């Protein structure tokens, strides 16, 4: 993952370089050199938040679980989409959002999971979209493993 993603950690996020572009490139990046084509993590978070707010059901659920505070949703997504983030660094809201992004539980999970993955595929290169999807899936698997280990130790 680190070979494909160039991350400069800053207070408000780093940058992700696009290793390749095909037809899913922003018009504003056409004709730019490969080194100039990058999207700041903050910009990616802004686009994801806008996409989630645009979907009526996802918007409703995220409004509810964030206490109607979309700044918290944005902060949670910034942490989730940071390729160097570990699951232990995520807030309870971020963990809940990761669960919705990856689990096929409930109506919202079955809606949000493909919606998020399709959105990344539309706005990012295929390689970068796959890497970010894998990163979020890995966070989810860490949560699941931790929960199962906790259940196993409490049952003994």
pLDDT at 27 over 80: no
2 within some domain: no
3-state secondary structure 22-72: CCCCCHHHCCCCHHHCEEEHHHHHHHHHHHHHHCHHHHHHHHHHCCCCHHH
Tell me: the pLDDT tens digits for 117-131? 999 999 999 999 999
Closest alpha carbon to 17 in 75, 148, 33, 76: 33
Taking the whole predicted model, whether its pTM rises above 0.85 is answered as: no
138 within some domain: yes
Q: How many domains does the chain have?
A: 1
1 within some domain: no
Mean pLDDT (the chain) is: 79
pLDDT at 39 over 70: no
Dihedral of alpha carbons 150, 76, 100, 124, sign = negative
Q: End-to-end distance of the chain based on CA atoms, in angstroms?
A: 38
Rounding to the nearest 10 degrees, give the CA dihedral for residues 107, 114, 145, 126. -170
Tell me: the pLDDT tens digits for 60-90? 999 999 999 999 999 999 999 988 878 888 9
78 within some domain: yes
pLDDT band at 150 (very low <50, low <70, confident <90, very high): confident
8 within some domain: no
pLDDT at 134 over 90: yes
User: Under a CB-based contact definition with an 8 Å cutoff, are residues 29 and 37 in contact?
Assistant: yes
As a whole number of angstroms, the distance between CA 15 and CA 38 comes to 7
The proportion of the chain whose per-residue pLDDT surpasses 70, expressed as a percent, equals 73
Residue 21: give the domain boundaries: 15-154
46 within some domain: yes
- Quick one: pLDDT at residue 156? 61
102 within some domain: yes
* Mean pLDDT computed over 29-35: 41
9 within some domain: no
């Amino acid at each position: 993952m680190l070979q494909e993603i160039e991350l400069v950690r800053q207070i408000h996020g780093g940058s992700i370089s696009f290793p390749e572009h095909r037809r899913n490139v922003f018009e504003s990046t056409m004709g730019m050199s490969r080194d100039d084509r990058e999207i700041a993590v903050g910009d990616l978070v802004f686009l994801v938040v806008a996409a989630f707010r645009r979907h009526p059901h996802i918007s409703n659920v995220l409004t509810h679980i964030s206490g109607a505070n979309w700044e918290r949703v944005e902060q949670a997504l910034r942490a989730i989409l940071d390729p160097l983030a570990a699951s232990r660094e995520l807030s309870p809201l971020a963990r809940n959002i990761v669960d919705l992004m990856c689990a096929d539980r409930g109506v919202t999970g079955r809606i949000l999971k493909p919606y998020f993955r399709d959105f990344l595929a539309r706005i990012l290169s295929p390689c970068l979209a796959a890497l970010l999807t894998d990163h979020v899936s890995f966070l989810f698997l860490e949560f699941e493993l931790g929960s199962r280990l906790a259940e196993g130790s409490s049952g003994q």
